[in-house]
Amino acid sequence: MAMYEMEIEKLEELTERVKSGKDISYEEADWISQWVVPDGIARKFSKADLGEKIEAQEMQEPLKRWFNAVYEAMCSGRTGAFKNTIPLYYSSLTTYIVLTKCLSKLKPFEMAISIETSRSFFDKLSPETQSYFTGKAEIVKNFNIAVKSARACMAERIGLNPKDYLLISEGEKAVICDFTYHWMADQKSDREGNLISELRRGGKAEIKASVVGNVMYQTDTGHVLVNSFSPNLYYDEAKHRLCWENYFLYVFKKDLTKLKPYLDFSENTLVNMILSSDRIPQSEKDPLDGRKTNSYPFASFRLVKIATELVKEEILMSDLEKEIQKEKKTITDSDDWIDIIR
């Protein structure tokens, strides 16, 4: 019997199963993934646990046929455990083209290298889903309560349905939202002189992001911070480090209503409110005022707390004004009908 004959036969059977419209199990997805070997770039720069992979040239053509079946299934709108076999980085020239096509069909949530969440959200997860955060196969635990993976669609595998979440922020703003949430939750924000270091490189958008993060903490908004693989940067020698630093913040759809007024709030209005407020010491205002300093802006946690209250008050006033205008219109419409009847 030729080497790997049984393995090739098994892979061909799984390929035909997907072609017929059926799915595979996650255990079978794990078996397939052992044959896909991450390349040197991934081994050098990735922080994910790549594990021990089996490199077999004989399996390359069968793998190409497998991923072609996966791609065709995705094109038809199907989803399932078969997508969990897609590696987020790879080196084989045999499978390079088809894997590139597979990745093009995935959304950021599905290309998560890590999925971080808050302790309060973690505590609400089922025991089975929690187990993925504490060590299993390619998944490891870190300080931020994160699941890490070198394969696509890990969020779905651990029971986080992408359909339940909406994207509210990305990039540095997403990190600042999550950062502020966690520091507020840790009750460390009252320490004198404790600054949000990320804001020293930011501006109005980052100040607003910190306010949104504080509101998320105050309303206990269920959310996940996803670090998503970026295949378009992977083989760009000057940018390949950045392909592992693409952050996206998702919240529960049901929580979006309470966050939306803050997400829509004008950044310029927010900074102007801070600068004109008598609740904030001038020493904390000056770094935010481009007319008085050339340094990058920063904000203390006290400033973020006060800014959040200012925005909250403004939103309440706006809602009240809308309600008054609505009542006036109702009265006016009623008077018009009275005049018509007369």
Could you write out the DSSP letters of every residue in 273-296? HHHH-TTS-HHHHGGG-TTT--SP
As a 3-state breakdown, the chain gives helix, strand, coil percent values, each rounded to 5, of: 60, 10, 30
Label residue 141 exposed, middle or buried (CB < 10 Å: 0-12, 13-18, 19+). Answer: middle
pLDDT, tens digit (0-9, with 9 covering 90-100), for 142-171: 345 678 888 899 888 888 888 888 999 999
Please, which residues have CB within 8 angstroms of residue 341's CB and are 6 or more apart in sequence?
Answer: none
Helix/strand/coil for 173: helix
Q: Could you tell me the two tokens for 342?
A: 């007369």
Q: Could you tell me the two tokens for 191?
A: 């320490």
Q: Looking at the predicted structure, is the pLDDT value of residue 180 above 70?
A: yes
Same domain for 175 and 91? Answer: no
Q: Which residue has the higher pLDDT, 329 or 108?
A: 108
For the chain, what is the mean pLDDT?
79
Percentage of residues in the chain having pLDDT higher than 90: 32
Task: Examine residue 232 and state whether it is found in any structural domain, yes or no.
Answer: yes
Same domain for 86 and 190? Answer: no
> Which residue has tokens 């340094």?
295
- How many structural domains comprise the chain? 2
Q: Could you tell me the two tokens for 247?
A: 């952050």
Please, which residues have CB within 8 angstroms of residue 90's CB and are 6 or more apart in sequence?
Answer: 36, 37, 38, 39, 42, 96, 99
pLDDT, tens digit (0-9, with 9 covering 90-100), for 78-125: 999 999 999 887 666 677 889 889 999 999 999 998 888 877 788 888
Beta strands 247-252 and 165-170 are antiparallel
Task: Examine residue 301 and state whether it is found in any structural domain, yes or no.
Answer: no
Same domain for 283 and 202? Answer: yes
Please, which residues have CB within 8 angstroms of residue 279's CB and are 6 or more apart in sequence?
Answer: 306, 310
Q: Which residue has the higher pLDDT, 186 or 194?
A: 186
- Alpha-carbon distance of 120 to 132, in angstroms, equals 16
Q: Looking at the predicted structure, is the pLDDT value of residue 11 above 60?
A: yes
Please, which residues have CB within 8 angstroms of residue 227's CB and are 6 or more apart in sequence?
Answer: 112, 113, 114, 115, 116, 244, 245, 246, 247
Same domain for 171 and 264? Answer: yes
Range of 198's domain? 161-288
- Alpha-carbon distance of 166 to 251, in angstroms, equals 5
pLDDT at 194: 38
Spatial strand order of the sheet with 223-228 comes to: 146-148, 112-117, 223-228, 247-252, 165-170
Q: Could you tell me the two tokens for 213?
A: 């993060």
Helix/strand/coil for 7: helix
Among 244, 264, 288, the domain-final residue is 288
Same domain for 178 and 282? Answer: yes
Among 109, 125, 142, the domain-final residue is 109
Task: Examine residue 326 and state whether it is found in any structural domain, yes or no.
Answer: no
pLDDT at 68: 97
- Alpha-carbon distance of 320 to 64, in angstroms, equals 61
Q: Looking at the predicted structure, is the pLDDT value of residue 177 above 70?
A: yes
- Alpha-carbon distance of 342 to 335, in angstroms, equals 11
pLDDT at 338: 56
Q: Could you tell me the two tokens for 198?
A: 């990320």
Residue 288's pLDDT band (boundaries 50, 70, 90)?
low
